[in-house]
Amino acid sequence: MSKVLVSDPIDQAGIDILSQVATVDVKTTLKPDELVNIIGEYDALMIRSGTRVTKEIIEAGTNLKIIGRAGVGVDNVDVPAATRQGIVVVNSPEGNTIAAAEHALAMMLSLSRHIPDANASVKRGEWDRKTFVGAEVYKKTLGIVGLGKIGSHVAAVARAMGMKLLAYDPFISTERAEQIGCQLVDMDVLAQQADYITLHIPKTPETTHLINAELLAKMKPTTRIINCARGGIIDEAALASAVKERKIAGAALDVFESEPLAESTLREVGKDIILTPHLGASTTEAQVNVAIDVAEQIRDVLLGLPARSAVNIPGLGPDVLEELRPYMQLAETLGRLVGQLAGGRVELLNIRLQGEIATNKSQPLVVAALKGLLHQALRERVNYVNASIEAKERGIRVIETRDAAVRDYAGSLHLEATGNLGTHSVTGALLGDGEIRLTNMDGFPINVPPSQHMLFTLHRDMPGIIGKLGSLLGSFNVNIASMQVGRKIVRGDAVMALSLDDPLPDGILSEITKVPGIRDAYTVNL
């Protein structure tokens, strides 16, 4: 009989499910070295946030088939190490969806009617009705930042309450937003028009301090902000000042840049700011749901069935995985690249498999391309299992074609995406040593390896333009690692592909397009 180790406290419902197919040991006080010493006895490991599953632990788990994280994040698991060992890693991406959405709605209503402070006032023996005059949400405009599962549920409830819905999400199609009942707008318009703003996005370099002093200044004095997503999306000092100075009406926060919340000006604002200690997923139902969800997946894998929420590569044997891994890396890289070129709101992705890969099982490569395409929007929340579902939910139409006759390389992959920045295409291939090469961009032949920070330009092939661009970048202290020009005809249109040592500073793209002969410029971070 299989053996499962549960190293963090989970709901009994999860343990009951595991007990159907395995012997379950619950040991929640293990030190890392103790876990290393015993993990080799087990076929599965179930954790929450307390256990860190390091490379050392994974390599010691010689019998491990699956690691289950009862929750969303897998930051405490070395997923690449698990993948190399053929161990499936699963999470519960939807277990706390309803809990998080309901907490955001509860915060919005509590903020509108000053419920926490009114409650405290009555318990002090007071009866002060005038101080706690509130506002109705009916017919007000709710701005939803992020239309994923949680944001979509908030939208459905808010719509039922008679609210008008605006949304900002650069990674969802207009059609999908309309199905949810939202009008897509840019962030500035949302900030200017919304009476309530609720955040449902991950924290990334792009979203850090998205709500800052500049954006707060554009809001109405009646605007109220709710954040039950991630700390750090809001500049907390700027928010506290805006509420104190009556630039906005209030805020309700469940998450903070540093947790637990230390000394903060947020505590000084009074009834116009509500603070809760990261309770978004803290419901009895959510804790049960994540335990059941992950326990069921562990049970299925132990029975030889596929996992539904794997964060690495489920359902592939080690031999198949080893064969496809380089091509999957190629597909994911090209997906990231073309997604950024086309703009986040991609509506159509055309995937063409060329050469020898056109004859192989293509689904893992299509999924890898979608995972790369959605990376900017979802980060670690997108995986090889849910990529297709996430693409469908965002209204992205996928067309797959094959052309075995193309023989420029042993096998190459062509991706074409249509988004809010137009239609762009990129082709890539693997060299004999597995190195990825970009071989074509927007119909222009190139031959460059992808790098972390890249700049692409569309320009007129004319003398001096390379030097002008190099001088401009140099004036901003941008160092060029490599550069190549691709063209179809002499002195016609051309593309320039530059690898940079660091990300391009803000504001330089507009300066680049001012250079005579350069018609457009795009940055890509892989």
* Six-digit token string for 261: 């919340």
Burial degree of 59 (CB within 10 A; 0-12, 13-18, 19+): middle
Quick count: other Cβ atoms within 10 Å of Cβ 165? 20
H/E/C letters for each residue in 351-401? EEEEEHHHHCCCHHHHHHHHHHHCHHHHHHHCCCCCHHHHHHHCCCEEEEE
459 is known as an active-site residue:
no
- The span from the CA of 44 to the CA of 490, in Å, is 61
- The span from the CA of 244 to the CA of 66, in Å, is 50
- The span from the CA of 69 to the CA of 78, in Å, is 12
Catalytic position from the list 175, 178, 259, 285: 259
Catalytic position from the list 84, 113, 159, 278: 278
Q: Which stretch of DSSP H or E encloses residue 301?
A: helix 284-302
Please confirm whether the linkage preceding 221 is cis (ω < 30° from 0). no
Burial degree of 139 (CB within 10 A; 0-12, 13-18, 19+): exposed
- The span from the CA of 425 to the CA of 506, in Å, is 25
Q: Kindly provide the residue ranges of all beta strands, DSSP E only, lying in 222-302, ordered along the sequence.
A: 224-227, 250-253, 273-275
Catalytic position from the list 103, 114, 153, 230: 230
Cβ-based neighbours of 398, under 8 Å, separated by 6 or more: 348, 349, 351, 366, 370, 388, 391
103 is known as an active-site residue:
no
230 is known as an active-site residue:
yes
Structural contact between residues 504 and 523, judged by C-beta atoms closer than 8 angstroms: yes
Catalytic positions are: 230, 259, 278
